[in-house]
Amino acid sequence: MLNVPPWIEPIVMAFWSTFFLVWGPGRRGVMRNLKVIKPGSLAVANLFRCYRVFWNYAWTIADNVRFKELRTIPDWEFTGREYFEEMQTRQGAILLTAHMGSYDLGAHLFSETSTRRIVMVRAPEADPQTRAFEENHGAESLRIEFNTRATALALDLLETIREGGIVAIQGDRVTGSISSLPATLFGKPTTVPAGPFALALAARVPIYPVFVVRLGRRRYRLMTSRPIEITRSRNRDDDFAHAVEKWMAELERVIDECWFQWFTFEPYWPEQAP
Amino acid sequence: MMLNVAIDRPDARWLPSRHHFAVARLIGYILLGRTRPAVDRPGHLILSIDRDQTAVEMHLTAFWVFATTACYVAALLPFALPLSIILAIPLAAVAIHLPIVLGGPILRALTGDGNHIKIVSVITMVLLLIASSYVATTRTWARFVAWLFFAILLLNGVAAVILWLLRGSVKAAEERCVR
């Protein structure tokens, strides 16, 4: 990234995105997911769509590294700005997002423009060097937590929210042995992480669905949707089910619109697993 | 941390400072005054002011560099033209990587870690210039591509001179936009 002239960067991206197609498990995972998102689609069309997913993925990684190394930010557009502002004025909130666009870049944008402290929860980074890079290149008000120690982390996050901070979590897929809730996406059963919903219930704060979508070269849109309030009743399972249903409706709408940026390289629906 | 941005100014898209090459900067300057200066709803647009920001300019330049390199490679290959063009496409992509993958580590060894974009950029353009100078003197069909390369360089040079002459009004227009 620190050696590539920007005026030949599109060639470099196009070239290396092609190599992702050689990565069998990733290519098959994306194509299986596309089959569900676009029912009746042809395999050959999905191969080109798959290339587009990898092309977008390469650009978002490059934009993220460019920001961390050179502090170059992309252009930003906002939709649902009123909800975004509302989230920042509240005493604590949960920001629920998906593996789309550049969620890292979005989190950094919040931390640069917001007075609130942001804690971003991520799946554990396998490579220690990458993990150290992520931890050391964050903005001052942004803390990255890897979800490796569930109980202790839950208490830390609850404390962060009670202190008025914002906790950002990816809520589209379950990794490892974290607890999950049943859900339906594109008419097929799946599971989503239970953590954000349990945290919202415990901290009595709403969940704000936020998506960072790449519109083009160095151009992103930050989409904030109406908050999901979890109302307490006698039946906790029903409370969660209602909240999950609203979240899945938002997620489905955004994935349907921006399928080329949903960076899920494994078969998402359990029934699709080889 | 201060970020160099224009907030809620759609016309800032055309700021010459957001463009890299003189031709693009001049076009930006011309269009700057013709765009609506404010958004309908405030707080909805942040534009970064960085010379490599514009997608159209960068994609067009990348395409031009790639097409030029592919033509030179195709002209050098000893096969029939259709086959040469097919082979030239991946070979050109590899050739364009050479200054990055060879120059990058050498620069790193000489100057240490850091941002080498500018020097790799200069090396790449000098290599293209050398290749174009050679191809322009040959009798192959690719000499027309090389002439086009020099014509575009000349055009960019003329645009740079015009921008230099207009530097005062360009600066004033930029300041009006981002103040």
Same domain, B69 and B144: yes
> Is residue B1 predicted with pLDDT exceeding 60?
no
Chain A contact set for B3 (CB, 8 A): 71, 73, 112
How many residues are there in chain B?
Answer: 179
Same domain, B35 and B123: no
A85 in a structural domain: yes
Q: Which two tokens stand for residue B164?
A: 């230099």
Same domain, B169 and B153: no
Rg (CA), chain A: 18
Say how many domains are in chain A. Answer: 1
Torsion of Cα atoms, B63 then B68 then B71 then B76, to 10°: -140
Q: In this structure, which amino acid lies at residue A51?
A: Y
> Is residue B155 predicted with pLDDT exceeding 90?
yes
Q: In this structure, which amino acid lies at residue B153?
A: L
Same domain, B145 and B167: no
A161 in a structural domain: yes
Angle (CA) A264-A160-A61 rounded to 5° is: 30
Are the beta carbons of B103 and A10 separated by less than 8 Å?
A: no
CA–CA separation, B18 vs B165, rounded Å? 19
- pLDDT string in tens for chain A (274-residue length): 678 899 999 999 999 998 888 899 999 999 999 999 999 999 999 999 999 999 999 999 999 888 888 888 899 998 998 898 888 888 899 999 998 877 778 777 777 777 778 887 876 666 777 767 666 665 555 666 665 566 677 888 888 899 888 998 889 888 877 889 999 999 999 999 999 999 999 999 999 999 999 999 999 999 999 999 998 888 888 999 999 999 999 999 999 999 999 999 999 987 665 5
A87 in a structural domain: yes
Are the beta carbons of B46 and A9 separated by less than 8 Å?
A: no
Are the beta carbons of B63 and A219 separated by less than 8 Å?
A: no
Chain A contact set for B63 (CB, 8 A): 10
Same domain, B174 and B128: no
Q: Which residues of A121-130 are buried (b: 16+ CB within 10 A; e: fewer)?
A: bbeebeeeee
* Residue A204 DSSP one-character state: T
Q: How far is CA A200 from CA A60, A90, A161, A168, in A?
A: 29, 13, 9, 12
Same domain, B88 and B121: yes
Q: How far is CA B107 from CA A260, B99, B123, in A?
A: 36, 10, 11
Query: What is the reported pTM?
Result: 0.87
Same domain, B74 and B9: no
Q: Which residues of A77-95 are buried (b: 16+ CB within 10 A; e: fewer)?
A: bbebbebbebbeebebbbb
Same domain, B114 and B30: no
Say how many domains are in chain B. Answer: 2
- What is the domain range of residue A231? 75-263
Task: Tell me the per-residue pLDDT of B94-134, one tens digit each, with 9 for 90 and over.
Answer: 999 998 888 878 888 888 777 888 899 999 999 999 999 99
CA–CA separation, B36 vs B46, rounded Å? 15
- Is A133's Cβ below 8 Å from some Cβ in B? no
Residue to test with chain B: of A16, A75, A215, most B Cβ within 10 A: A75
Are the beta carbons of B65 and A11 separated by less than 8 Å?
A: yes
A145 in a structural domain: yes
> Is residue B2 predicted with pLDDT exceeding 60?
no
CA–CA separation, A201 vs A230, rounded Å? 6
Paired with A77 in beta bridges are A221, B45
Kindly report the average pLDDT of chain B as a whole number: 90
What is chain A's percent helix, strand, coil content, to nearest 5? 50, 20, 30
Chain A, window 11-30: residues with a beta carbon less than 8 angstroms from a chain B beta carbon:
11-12, 14-15
CB A56 within 8 Å of CB A214 = yes
Chain A, window 169-228: residues with a beta carbon less than 8 angstroms from a chain B beta carbon:
216-219
State CA A273 to chain mean position distance: 22
Same domain, B32 and B110: no
Res B42: pLDDT: 63
Interface ipTM: 0.88
Same domain, B43 and B94: no
- What is the domain range of residue B82? 58-158
Task: Tell me the per-residue pLDDT of B95-105, one tens digit each, with 9 for 90 and over.
Answer: 999 988 888 78
Same domain, B106 and B40: no
Cβ-defined contacts of B84-91 (< 8 Å, 24+):
none
Same domain, B123 and B78: yes
A66 in a structural domain: no
